[in-house]
C-alpha cells in the first residue's frame, strides 16, 4: 500500500484508510458480523491498510471494543483515529457535547475501550456553535501535552472553524464527506486545508454504497433510511449516473469503487479516503484503487458525466444537516 503524509506532521499513513463504523453496529448499514469484521481488520494489516477510523459513538463503544483485541497484538502497525462528541441521550439517540470539561473524560474512556495508552489522531466529531472552537481545541491540545493523543482533527467543520482551530493548535486532519456524489468541500474546505497544511480525510468516499449500487435493499434499522438520497424515487433518478460510472470503470478494467477512489486520490496529495467496510472482499477491492492511475482524458470523461447527470437528493436529512458546521 502506498502512503501519504498526514498534513505537515511528517507522519506517513496508508493512502487509503479503513472506516470501521459499520463493524459492530446494526444501525450502520445493516447487520454486523463480528467474526468477519475481525477478519477484515487482520486482512487490512496484510494489505497495508493501517489507518483505521472509529468513534466512541459507533455502537456506543462497541466499535472501539471490537478493535481492542486486534490492537493488543498489532498496535504498532496501526495509525489509530477515533472521535468524541456524541453522547447517548437516554432515548436510543444521541446529543452533542463537546464542552472542554468533558474532553479528557471522553478520551480516557476511548483509551480504555481501545486498550491503548495513546490515540494517534483524535477528532472532535462535530462543531457546536454554542462552544467556542478555541476552548474545545484548547482542551484537546491538553491531551497532546500529556501524551494521550498525538495529533488533533475535526470532523464536518467549516473552513472558518478550521482556521480558528488551527490558530489554537495545529490541526492534522479535517474529516468531511467527499465523493463523486458529494463535492461541497471543493469550494472552500479543500483550499483551506491546503493553505493550512491539513489533510482532508474523505469519509463515505463511495457515497455510502450508492456509487456502486443505486438501489440497495436497506435493513429496517439501516442509517441510510434517514437520508433523502436513498429514497426510492431519488434512487431511480441517480441510476443513469451510476450506470455511466459503471461503463467508465468497465472500459478501464476496474471496478466502480476503484474508479471513484482513484478519482479522489487524484484530487490532492494529502487527501486520504477512508472507505468503510466490514467485509474482506470489499476491503481488497478498495485497496486496489491505490494502484489505479487515471489519465487526464478519463478524468475529463468523469467530469462530463457528472455535469450531464448531477446527483439527486440531499446527503443528510434535516436533523443531521443541522449538525454540519457551515
pLDDT tens for 151-198 read 999 999 999 999 999 999 999 999 999 999 899 999 999 999 999 999
Residue carrying the nine cell digits 471490537: 66
Active-site residue flag, 58: yes
Residue 66 sits at φ, ψ, to 5 deg, of -60, -35
- Quickly state the pLDDT bin for 317 (edges 50, 70, 90): low
Closest-CA residue to 172 (of 125, 225, 121, 113): 121
Q: pLDDT category, 216, cuts 50, 70, 90?
A: low
Domain spans in the chain, listed from the N-terminal domain onward: 3-321
pTM of the model: 0.92
Please tell me the least confidently modeled range out of 16-30, 197-211, 215-229: 215-229
pLDDT digits (tens, 9 = 90+) for 52-90: 999 999 989 999 999 999 999 999 999 999 999 999 877
Q: What are the CA-CA distances from residue 234 to residues 210, 214, 230, 295, 316 (Å)?
A: 11, 9, 7, 31, 13
Residue 261: name the closest of 283, 243, 230 by CA: 283
SS (H, E, C) the chain: CCEEECCCCCCEEECCCEECHHHHCCCCCCCCCHHHHHHHHHHHHHHCCCEEECCCCHHHHHHHHHHHHHHHHHHHHCEEEEEECEEECCCCCEEECCCHHHHHHHHHHHHHHHCCCCEEEEEECCCCCCCCHHHHHHHHHHHHHCCCEEEEEEECCCHHHHHHHHHHCCCCEEEEECCCCCCHHHCCHHHHHHHHCCEEEEECCCHHHCCCCCCCCCCCCCHHHHCHHHCHHHHHHHHHHHHHHHHHHHHHCCCHHHHHHHHHHCCCCCCEECCECCCHHHHHHHHHHHHCCCCHHHHHHHHHHHHHCCCCCCCCCHHHHCCCCC
Please tell me which residue in 27, 29, 58, 122 is annotated as part of the active site: 58
Note the CATH number of domain 3-321: 3.20.20.100
**pLDDT tens digits, 129-164:** 999 999 999 999 999 999 999 999 999 999 999 999
Specify the pLDDT at position 5: 98
Amino acid at each position: 500500500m502506498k502512503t501519504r503524509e498526514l498534513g505537515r506532521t511528517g507522519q506517513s499513513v496508508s493512502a487509503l484508510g479503513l472506516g470501521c463504523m459499520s463493524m459492530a453496529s446494526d444501525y450502520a448499514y445493516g447487520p454486523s458480523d463480528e467474526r468477519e469484521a475481525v477478519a477484515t481488520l487482520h486482512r487490512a494489516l496484510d494489505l497495508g491498510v493501517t489507518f483505521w477510523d472509529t468513534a466512541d459513538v459507533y455502537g456506543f463503544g462497541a466499535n472501539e471494543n471490537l478493535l481492542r483485541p486486534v490492537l493488543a497484538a498489532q498496535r504498532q502497525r496501526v495509525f489509530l483515529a477515533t472521535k468524541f462528541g456524541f453522547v447517548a441521550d437516554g432515548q436510543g439517540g444521541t446529543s452533542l457535547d463537546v464542552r472542554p470539561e468533558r474532553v479528557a473524560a471522553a478520551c480516557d474512556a476511548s483509551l480504555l475501550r481501545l486498550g491503548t495508552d495513546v490515540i494517534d489522531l483524535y477528532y472532535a466529531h462535530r462543531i457546536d456553535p454554542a462552544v467556542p472552537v478555541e476552548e474545545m481545541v484548547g482542551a484537546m491540545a491538553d491531551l497532546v501535552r500529556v501524551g494521550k493523543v498525538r495529533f488533533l482533527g475535526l470532523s464536518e467543520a467549516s473552513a472558518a472553524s478550521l482556521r480558528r482551530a488551527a490558530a489554537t493548535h495545529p490541526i492534522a486532519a479535517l474529516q468531511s464527506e467527499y465523493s463523486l456524489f458529494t463535492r461541497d468541500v471543493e469550494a472552500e474546505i479543500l483550499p483551506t486545508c491546503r493553505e493550512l497544511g491539513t489533510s482532508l480525510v474523505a469519509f463515505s468516499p463511495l457515497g455510502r454504497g450508492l456509487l456502486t449500487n443505486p438501489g440497495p435493499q436497506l435493513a429496517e434499522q439501516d442509517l441510510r433510511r434517514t437520508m433523502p438520497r436513498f429514497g426510492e424515487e431519488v434512487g431511480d433518478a441517480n441510476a443513469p449516473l451510476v450506470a455511466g460510472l459503471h461503463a467508465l470503470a468497465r472500459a478501464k478494467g476496474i471496478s466502480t469503487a476503484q474508479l471513484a477512489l482513484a478519482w479522489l486520490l487524484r484530487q490532492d496529495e494529502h487527501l486520504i479516503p477512508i472507505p468503510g467496510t466490514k467485509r474482506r472482499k470489499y476491503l481488497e477491492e478498495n485497496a486496489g484503487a491505490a494502484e489505479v492511475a487515471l489519465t487526464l482524458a478519463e478524468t475529463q470523461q468523469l467530469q462530463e458525466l457528472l455535469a450531464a447527470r448531477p446527483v439527486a437528493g440531499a446527503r443528510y436529512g434535516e436533523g443531521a444537516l443541522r449538525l454540519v458546521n457551515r
